[in-house]
Amino acid sequence: MMTKKLISILFAIILVLGMSTAAFAEEQRFVFDEASILTYDEIEELNARAKEITEKYGCGVYLVTFENLQGYEPWELNEMVYAELTEYYNSGEDVVILMLAMEERQYDILAHGYGNTAFTDYGKDVMAERFLDDFADDDWYWGFSDYLDTCDEFLGMAASGEPFDVHSEGDSFGGNLFGVLIAVIVSCAIALVVCLIFKAQMKTARLATEAHDYQKQLNLTGQYDRFSHRDIRRVYNPPQDNDNNGGGTTVNAGGFSHKSGGF
């Protein structure tokens, strides 16, 4: 049963990649849209950008969409895509592949070889954050565009010797800008509070709302505090995997690293 399924999916991959290759035989393809969610112009534009990034950094940047997962886990299917790309399309072992399955609305980011260096676990988390908001709105082109931009940025950082990782953001311009922005907002809030305290001294004519200066002792004639009920909430909260805190990339036995999820 499993073998039949595997053969069918491999056939689907070969068909997708093969058809795409036949259609654009004159050049190497980086965008494979089996689910037909992109227009011809969009495919061409994204393909050109992916090709440029691939050639610039020597790491294959791919986009693949399927109609469904055919019963496989996203990471399994993506590893099959990798196998096809390396075997039949000479992609090389240094790749990053974003795969989408439209029926299940699942995605997987696969990195291999140099891709594991450039796309750390944390880097893949950040990358996913950038495109997921577009995919949530079914805005496929802009989601893929964000993916390619992120690939360009992370490969560029890796090329300079400092791959994007947990410690990168604080040093990056964006991280600094965010920090400065927070510092400015907090400083303004503090200054405003101080100014408003001084301003309040300028207005002292106020209507009285209470009569504490004229009240006697409160005479309590009755009181009780009765237990009503007990409410227990149990929230599953397993210990956090702290491996990521130190950064780096988690690679499986096949030499792949993944980031999967829904969109």
Partner 1 sequence: MAIDITNHKCPACTGPLHYVGESGMLECDYCGSKYSVEEIEKLYAQDEAEAVEGFAVNEEKKEKEKAEFEAMGMEWSEEEAKGMKTYSCPSCGAELICDATTAATSCPYCGNPTVIPGQFTGGLKPDLVIPFKLNKDQAVKALENYYKGKIFLPKAFKEHNHIEEIKGVYVPFWLCDCEMGGSAMYKGANVRSWREGDYDITETMYYNVMREGKLGFEMIPVDASTKMPDAHMDAVEPFDYRELKPFSTAYLPGFLADKYDVSQEASMERIEGRARNSIKSEMRNTVRGYSMVTTEMENFDFENKGVKYALMPVWMLSTKWKGQNFLFAMNGQTGKLIGDLPVDKGKFWGLFAAIAAPLAIISSVIWILL
Which residues contact partner 1 (rule: CB under 8 A)? 176, 179-180, 182-184, 186-188, 190-192, 194-195, 198-199, 201-216, 218-239
Question: Distance from CA of residue 176 to its chain's centroid?
Answer: 21
Asked if 115 contacts 96 with a C-beta cutoff of 8 angstroms, the reply is yes
| Short-list 53, 90, 62, 72, CA closest to 12 | 72
Is the CB of 10 or the CB of 190 nearer to partner 1? 190
The Cα 183–Cα 177 span in angstroms is 10
**Cα dihedral sign, 142-144-147-153:** negative
Paired tokens of 68: 């469904």
User: Are 141 and 46 spatial neighbours (Cβ–Cβ below 8 Å)?
Assistant: yes
Residue with Cβ nearer partner 1 (4 or 230): 230
7 or 186: CB nearest partner 1: 186
Q: Using the 8-state DSSP alphabet, how is residue 96 labeled? A: E
| CB of 15 or CB of 184, closer to partner 1 | 184
CA distance 186 to 192: 10
Nearer to partner 1, 4 or 229 (CB): 229
CA distance 243 to 182: 28
CB 245 → partner 1: shortest distance, Å? 17
Q: How many CA atoms lie within 13 A of 140 on its CB side?
A: 20
Question: 41 or 213, CB closer to partner 1?
Answer: 213
Q: How far is the CB of 237 from partner 1 (least distance, A)?
A: 5
